[in-house]
Amino acid sequence: MIKAMNLTKKFGDFTAVDNLNLEVSSGEIFGFLGPNGAGKTTTIKMLTGVLKPTHGDIYILGLNMKENEIKIKRGIGVVNEEPKIYSHLKGYEYLEFIMDIFQMNDSQIKKRIVELCDAFEIDYLDKMIADMSHGMKQKLVLISVLMRKPKVIFLDEPTVGLDAKSAKILKELLKKYAEQGATIFLTTHILEIAEKMCDRIAIINKGSKIAEGTMDELRKIGKYENMNLEELFLELTASSEEIKSIVEQL
Amino acid sequence: MREFLILLKYGMAFSHAPRRGKKRVSLYSYIVPAAVIGLVAFYTTRSTFSTLSQVDPLAPKIFINFWTTLLSMFFIVGFIGLSINSFTLNEEIEFLLNLPIRRTVLLFYQIFVSTLTQFFALFLYIGIYASYTMVSNNSFLVLFKGIMQLIFMISLASILTILIGKRIKKATVRKIVMVINIVTPFLIFLLIGSNESITKNAMGESGILRYIAFSFSNYNFLTWAIKDGIFPIISLVISIIFVVSFVFLSKDVEFSQSESKSGKTKDFKLMGSGVPIKAIYIKDIKTALRIDQFIFFIIYPVAFGIFMAVMNNDIFTAIFASMPVIIIYVAIESAILTAKEYLYIETVKTYPISLGKILMPKIIIPTTLNTIILLVEFIIFSFLKGLQFKFFIFLPISFVLLIMNSLMGAYQTVKNPPKTENISRVLGFGSIMLVEGITLGSVFAVIFPLMKLFANDFESTIQRYLVGYLLPIATLIACLMYSRYLYLKLIGYHESQ
């Protein structure tokens, strides 16, 4: 479903993503982790067609990104970390816009919007987006993606700004969609979420992938037998001794 | 004072954050152009004041009263419009409220920033007043009165901001300011026009002195500081009361609006056509109608055209005064719509539609709207004033220029996309100068030769063919070629990213 081959992105002399290879199958929840500035968002932007890679190839839904960009975009859903959506539209106008852009205008989708609004407790669709809080906008974006039931969903820090109930509903919904065959690609700094939800995890640091596998496989890589994901992540991306010494100096 | 200076040093960075890859926007970049305009005003009005003082010793006073009234109104309206927004909860204020800084200092800082935003009105006034000072008998006293006038203007605008800002919704403020901005200049001139007969009786036939009836009146409190007698003292006392009241009221400023919360969700029905292109156009039309600045740029040239027609009783002056304004403003309208799209570009790029199709309405909507406005203007003038049919040739010509300018506005915005929701400076100084230069150049090269051609005003046949036919045709071809170049650059801009 998602395949990245030798993916590289350079901004001038700076290499944000370096020769990255990824493969995510249908029905899988894939966690993409890394410290700040590791290249997670740049990777997602390339996989969703927002940024063009300097080198490498991307295949989504079996289609090459270079040749089928629009077709791929029609089949995927993207939830960015920042819910940047048209502030001069009302909530329901934005949903109408998305329905039109994705050429979906049947009674089924309207019914689904109502169901999702009930689930996420959205009763502010007549409000201007400019007047909505971060969490309200994030829920609106989630609905605009989930209403379409795309086969591949990319989520960059999806729970930021969501209340506990909405975050829980989202997590359960993503699991349900994966069981139904959808591919979920998510980044998060909340390692507990990744540990509980993801079937497989990749860790990226300074633009390069440093580990990939299931939780059990990751533990075996460095012989971190009894570690949880947070301890493992820190071992791979920073030195525990370094953190200890920084805290002591403070 | 220390807190104020710190805010000034670091706070300005928030208001004028540099764009990607550019140096920090210096305060001087705002002061220098305004100061140049002030200097130009000083030199141009110096001779006027000198001539007027020779005609009648009272005339320079009348002239400065008029300019004081006009520019005070511009300053106060502009100041209130901008400072009400900055007095309310924006990102910068939210951050500053977390810091150990007194609210009064925050307000003085906002007052200072709002004053700076009115550089052009301020420097224009300083330039005119400086030349007035030179022809007056007691320069020192006149200069002192000028300073009092500035204090009065700022204190009046500040107290109005604090009083209005506490009670009014942000959206209402924006609408009021927009209406005032459009109406003010016309209102002043209409007042002047209506007082013409009174003025004639008092001061004779001089055109300039028609202004006396309105601006020289003792009831015109905007000029009390520069008048003779007891008025400057009254103005000073009022200014002191305003400043004291401001300090007193500033302690309770909440930095928030009185926005009403709707208790109940209104009923709405999800419609939609399922047609992507239609969706983009509908979305952009809604956006345009909801942005006050956009409506302002549409209405202003129309009002200007009507005003010119009323004042001059001459349709050609009306049409050819409003046409370049419309053509220049279309670039800003396109830039506003493009800027609004680019604020969300990372989300937009995930939609299954090409960027070219997303950007097209930003050219089409402003161009179509303004073409319709011109068409209606031409039709009305042909019925009411007997505009000859041959003048309708200016419509397709304007259409070409409108498309070129729309593309210029959109391309300049794509090259320098905005970082914040604030679209008050959607096109930078350089971009505006480029748009104005190319527009005025094209208008002069196309419209004026054609007007001369219609008036049969050429001295020779060669001149008639070279200037009357060749120059407009060549200019139009150049405009079309430049439009094509801009279109390809615009569409291809993100292909290279």
B171: phi then psi, degrees, rounded to nearest 5? -65, -40
Element spanning B35, H or E? helix B28-55
Segment (H or E) for A209 = strand A208-213
A200-209, B35-44, B219-228, B240-249: which range is least confident on average? Answer: B35-44
Rounded to two decimals, the pTM is 0.74
Return the ∠ at Cα B417 (arms to B415 and B422), rounded to 5°.
145
Smallest Cβ–Cβ distance between A52 and the set B282, B340, B497 belongs to B497
Highest average pLDDT, of A239-243, B117-121, B341-345, comes from B341-345
Spatial separation of the C-alpha atoms in residues B3 and B105, rounded to whole Å:
7
Establish if B276 touches chain A: CB-CB under 8 angstroms.
yes
Show which of residues 410-469 on chain B sit within 8 Å of chain A, judged by CB atoms.
Answer: 421
What is the pLDDT averaged over residues B96-103? 78
Which chain B residues are within 8 Å of A126, Cβ to Cβ? 262, 265-266, 268
Whole-number pLDDT of residue B330: 92
Whether pLDDT at A228 is above 90: no
Q: Does B21 touch chain A (CB under 8 A)?
A: no
CA distances (Å), origin B229, targets B69, B141, B145, B218, B226? 18, 12, 12, 11, 10
A206-216: per-residue pLDDT in tens?
899 988 988 88
Pairing of the two strands A29-33 and A183-187: parallel
For A201, phi and psi rounded to 5 degrees?
-135, 140
Average pLDDT, chain A: 89
Handedness of CA B14, B19, B23, B25 (dihedral sign): negative
| Chain B residue with Cα closest to A83 | B347
Give A100 or B274, the one with higher predicted confidence.
Answer: A100
Choosing among A41, A97, A122, A144, which should be mutated to test the B contact, i.e. which has the most B CBs within 10 A?
Answer: A97
The Cβ of residue B70 has, within 10 Å, a number of other Cβ atoms equal to 22
Q: Does domain A2-249 have CATH number 3.90.700.10?
A: no
A89, B287: Cβ pair inside 8 Å? yes
Reference A120, options A106, A107, A99, A137; nearest CA is: A137
Does position B133 have pLDDT exceeding 70, yes or no? Answer: yes
pLDDT value for A96: 93
Q: Where are the alpha helices (DSSP H) in B136-230?
A: 139-165, 170-194, 196-203, 212-215
Nearest to B333 by CA among B405, B404, B277: B405
CB contact under 8 A, A73 and B351: yes
The encoded tokens of residue A17 equal 């993503």
Question: What is the value of ipTM here, to two decimals?
Answer: 0.91
The whole-number pLDDT of residue B260 equals 47
Band of pLDDT at residue B182, cut at 50, 70 and 90? low
Query: Which pLDDT value is given to residue A47?
Result: 95
Averaged pLDDT, B200-221: 59
Half-sphere exposure of B152 (CA within 13 A, CB side): 25
Q: With an 8 Å Cβ cutoff, are A99 and B276 in contact?
A: no
| Structure confidence by residue, pLDDT tens digits, B46-97 | 877 888 787 777 778 887 888 888 788 778 877 776 676 666 555 667 677 7
pLDDT at B392: 86
pLDDT tens digits for B387-421? 778 888 889 999 999 999 999 999 999 988 877 66
- Span of A128-137, B28-37, B189-198 with lowest mean pLDDT: B189-198
Q: What is the pLDDT of residue B186?
A: 58
How far apart (Å, rounded) are the C-alpha atoms in residues B477 and B54? Answer: 52
- Cα(A74)–Cα(A63) distance, integer angstroms: 12
Q: Are A34 and A233 in contact (CB under 8 A)?
A: no
Q: Is the pLDDT of residue B487 over 80?
A: yes
**Residues A79-134 pLDDT 10s:** 998 899 998 999 999 999 999 999 987 788 888 999 999 999 998 999 999 888 88
Q: Where are the domains of chain A?
A: 2-249
Shortest distance, CA B117 to any CA of chain A (angstroms)? 25
Q: Given CB atoms, is B353 within the 8 Å cutoff of chain A?
A: yes
Least confident of B226-230, B252-256, B348-352, B384-388: B252-256
CB nearest A100 (choices: B273, B350, B421): B273
State the pLDDT confidence band at B202, using cuts at 50, 70 and 90. Answer: very low
